[in-house]
Structure 1
């Protein structure tokens, strides 16, 4: 814990320590640095961005829309908390900042002095920890900057005033501080090409203000986004043209990536990290590399994750989620993109200082240096009350060597407990019978497929029987369908009218969006259909539901809607083949 020094000698020691820490950070890449005019080593844009890998986002704190940084439920930022994040291995921290509630909405658009001082305090703490620090203008993008098409001069004046004040405040900050001009830029009611032109205006103004503000801002790394931080080729091309026109070697580009959308939110039946999902990821990074990196402009992936996490981290099944995170980290490294993981409080517990999902972080961390092996699934379902049959799981070694199968601290016997044929791992019937034991439902064991490097792949051995739904009644506000899950997990739900056309929201597909159109509550033993589902269901209609479970089981269910009244009746369960 930091304490304010009260003696002169203590203060001197602290100053000298801070200078030494800053010197260490700035000279970490001394072999590739060229001395600047002032004698302090200056990294190139490419070297700076490389040194920022890996990065982490301090989301939903200083960017919260409200009175202060606790408005969206996160605790106040402390030195101890930043120490803990640094200790996780992150070299950079993106500190999104929303200024709107703290900036006058009329000229001269003054930012509240106390808020600006608080932002500076947090930035200074992060710099003291040895982070590269990125700050920006964040949710202002959709709060007022997006009105630029109809309020051009007023928006530009306010934007210019904000960056003038920010640049002056941080003019003497070390080069480890990086400026991003605006988060996810967007403009209301204009086409994309016009949006590109408006963003270019902001880019030029931002560049002129910062570079003209003196101090270390003369050659500080500046980060320029694409429109919407999109990775579509047209948006990349527009941003590349804008950056080239600035004729400044200390500029990086930034995009965001939250995965192939149907997989990212679990809709349209995209429940797995399949070839299509992987191909979308690769195409995105390949476009970014070709447009920017290959042309000498480094790239920061300013935010990444899965959009379903905005609801909760269970929207995408655990094993499929881990495969996505592992592969993104690998491919980002292959293409030379620096990643800054989005965390709004759902990943790192900001009070307990622990990862809420240690396995997820382990795969993220492992990808910084290499690969981890995975498998076709992390779920092994064994029918309860039956003699188990041997089960085969396809391994994905990802260039590594499979070295063994473990149950806790016990290494299982090859040839007896399991066999490996190529990349196919077969669990013996005898092993599975011993693991499920007396037939109790639910997870019975967690095996580890270990590889020559990286994180072991966990196989959850689950004893289950067919899920059973019961009749229900409710209203269009909410219907809770009683469901005995019997050890199983819900993967997705289909909704269709009797003629086969899609019912409910996302009416372009019968497969509904997880946690938006439906959500399982395992503790309560229900599947909840919220108001958002019934809002797009025809009145006086019949809707046929199919619940798909990870074991392969399905449950048929029929809804009848009349006005605001809804009744549901169970049909039949289809056993997995």
Structure 2
């Protein structure tokens, strides 16, 4: 990120302008005594700024009589725009923005204040607004009668499904919490709090998906009564989120594989339980505002029923859900209802089946939902897919294109209810190369905007640390936040590797501009000199030997410097200058339950591992490829200086047969190693 642009501005009109406004107000409003005294000041603070985007906070100080309901209005001087905000309801017409109170912050006492914030976009110059108006009166630091400055009221009610789903972008899953088996904290996350939801809103999210697993809290048939304490807790979290101006998507989650999957084999009993569950949910929440939406079931799946048979069972659940909710009255008459495909899969046959269901319902307040975790081999790092290559990109582009063409283009909104990559977790470091992961995230943001799809990040604790309310990787979060409104430039890789000794030569990367202008390289706050430090020829960026020698410093193993490639918008692309030599593996003998190869990594990082028998056939758990799955079969322990071979991998190796392992590193280096597993003991030879 660029150096932060930190500035505050207390905005007042000059005294002459204030006097003119006061005179006009007196002439227009008549008897002064009949009007409440109004007056205000505004503190406008740009907290963070990067190319094309910024975060701002607005604090309004009430200098006049108490206020019960406020509307703050301003005009942008340079065509800036609010992308998403918090603690206020935002509407815009051209350069004019209105921020209106929410239910919990509508009152401002005399001498009191209210604050709200937003993420915005800009191009050229990011100047402060000309002036702010509170309920139509200019905030110039004076107190007097109301002025008649026109305001633009926000729209009221009657949103279409397309409008509501668009307003939910971006969304965030409160994963592995109310859906966890064994209790809300059983899967490692803390209890959901108001503070957590306020923080999620402050980070630019406009909606949450609230996964809830109900099975453990349901009584026996025929009533299948939900434990009142469980229903109360779910409602409490829903209400907290709505109070933070977060839309909520509430669902039936792991029940999909705990009992709903037996619909095809125990039809009547399963359907009766499903009907009872949704009847209770619909009744409890029927008087909640429209910002609460329902999702029929997470990832519907059925024992022994795939393809068209699975589609038919999915349709049956969706239709029963729709009938129950619509028939429950209250706000459920026109509440947004979200229907999944079979296993929320986005293959064309699954999309076509759901489209037929939705067409048959003829209900304008219905949306479709699918999940997306990317091209599976890349998502888990298997079969050698360690980079965001053409095949990974084609899978991503095709998914968004299909859902757009099937649904969005036909007026049916789409919610990508879960998206991320599989196996990415702070407890499993190294599965994905950081730069390649950022390219994937950047592309999802772009295609979501381009194809009109609302996305909801699946976060089970791997992105946001809910104990500290800090992102585990701030740079990654910046890609999420920026990607809502703009593209970011990238490059063919995020590192250049240098040897620890000998001459350093120039190194090149290919720029992926993504429609942006390349603006140069920075090291910290210092701009590198084009020509002396780097050259650009077409899309080829070349670091000179002199610049790399300076950046490498004492050439200690590992990252010696980080350079930013900045573009005309989005998040800068980071390039690490790394010193590394070929890793060295040592012979070892140990038990199959805990075998590890002594390894000198020498500054390098592991990409993947191949495993083959002497006859060239594949060894390990995945016999269809020589490249085994990262972490579940092998993993590096850089601190311990070992490469761990998991018991699962070794159990899949034929006893007594030598296996040649080839370890591939991101510098391009490889290292070969031979193991033989026999009788619970592994012998390894470098």
**TM-score over 0.5 for the alignment?**
yes
SS in 2 for 1:323: helix
Q: Is residue 489 of structure 2 the alignment partner of residue 402 of structure 1?
A: no
Counterpart Cα distance in 2 of 1:188 and 1:555: 44
Deviation string, structure 1 residues 440-491 (Cα, Å, up to 9, x no partner): 1111000001111110000011111110001111222231111100000000
TM-score, normalisation: structure 1: 0.92
Shift, 1:105, TM fit: 3.9
Distance 1:23 1:394, change over 3 A: closer
Higher strand fraction: Structure 1 or Structure 2?
2
Q: 1:193 maps to which residue?
A: 308
Counterpart Cα distance in 2 of 1:130 and 1:388: 55
Partners of 2:185 and 2:191 within 8 A in 1: yes
Match of 1:352 among 468, 480, 483: 468
**Structure 2 unaligned spans of 5+:** 1-65, 71-84, 97-154
Deviation string, structure 1 residues 154-190 (Cα, Å, up to 9, x no partner): 1111111110110011000000000000000000112
Deviation string, structure 1 residues 341-375 (Cα, Å, up to 9, x no partner): 11001101112111101111111111111100000
Match of 1:298 among 402, 413, 424: 413
Q: 2:100 maps to which residue?
A: none
Match of 1:480 among 596, 599, 606: 596
Q: 1:203 maps to which residue?
A: 318
Counterpart Cα distance in 1 of 2:289 and 2:207: 14
Match of 2:372 among 236, 241, 257: 257
Q: Is residue 632 of structure 2 the alignment partner of residue 505 of structure 1?
A: no
Counterpart Cα distance in 1 of 2:281 and 2:67: 27
Deviation string, structure 1 residues 472-519 (Cα, Å, up to 9, x no partner): 112222311111000000000000001111100111000111111100
Q: 1:562 maps to which residue?
A: 678
Partners of 2:86 and 2:201 within 8 A in 1: no
Q: 1:35 maps to which residue?
A: none
Q: 2:191 maps to which residue?
A: 76
SS in 1 for 2:470: coil
SS in 1 for 2:308: helix
CA RMSD of aligned residues (A): 2.1
Match of 1:423 among 533, 536, 539: 539
Counterpart Cα distance in 1 of 2:174 and 2:68: 26
Partners of 2:301 and 2:342 within 8 A in 1: yes
Distance 1:62 1:245, change over 3 A: same
Deviation string, structure 1 residues 65-106 (Cα, Å, up to 9, x no partner): 11x211111111111111001000001110111111111243
Q: Where do 1:136-535 residues align within 5 Å?
A: 136-309=251-424, 312=428, 314-535=430-651
**More deviation in 475-484 or 162-171?**
475-484
SS in 2 for 1:307: coil
Higher helix fraction: Structure 1 or Structure 2?
1
TM-score, normalisation: structure 2: 0.78
Distance 1:449 1:100, change over 3 A: same
Distance 1:100 1:27, change over 3 A: farther
Counterpart Cα distance in 2 of 1:252 and 1:262: 29
Counterpart Cα distance in 2 of 1:497 and 1:16: 74
Counterpart Cα distance in 2 of 1:90 and 1:470: 49
**Structure 1 unaligned spans of 5+:** 1-12, 32-38, 571-577
SS in 2 for 1:309: coil
Q: 1:552 maps to which residue?
A: 668
SS in 2 for 1:200: helix
Shift, 1:314, TM fit: 2.9
Shift, 1:439, TM fit: 2.5
Counterpart Cα distance in 2 of 1:494 and 1:473: 20
Q: 1:63 maps to which residue?
A: 179
Shift, 1:40, TM fit: 5.7
Counterpart Cα distance in 1 of 2:68 and 2:243: 11
SS in 2 for 1:42: coil
Q: Which has more radius of gyration? A: 2
Counterpart Cα distance in 1 of 2:296 and 2:279: 12
Q: Is residue 253 of structure 2 the alignment partner of residue 134 of structure 1?
A: no
Q: Which runs of 4+ in 1 moved over 4 A?
A: 13-17, 21-29
